[in-house]
Amino acid sequence: MNNQTLTELQKKIDAGVKIAIAEAIEKHRRLGQSISIWQDGKVVTLTADQIPPLDREKQPTETN
């Protein structure tokens, strides 16, 4: 595998991971479940009401 192929693969993996994380957070929000995040050097728990809705237009897309 050359460096260009590896870079493209890394971009696809990164996009897939970001999509999965965004969807998991959105699922917690819809189900009324809290999530814990790292914010300002501390672990902070957000209630479902504090989780912003997923903006599908800003969500990264997985490319072929």
Report how far residue 16's alpha carbon sits from residue 13's, in angstroms, rounded to the nearest whole number: 5
10 or 57, higher pLDDT? 10
Beta carbons within 8 Å of 47's beta carbon, 6+ residues apart:
34
Per-domain residue ranges for the chain? Answer: 3-50
Mean pLDDT over 13-34 rounds to 97
Which residue did the predictor score with more confidence, 7 or 62?
Answer: 7
CA 35, CA 54: separation in Å to the nearest integer?
Answer: 14
Which is more confidently placed, 34 or 4? 34
| pLDDT attached to residue 61 | 62
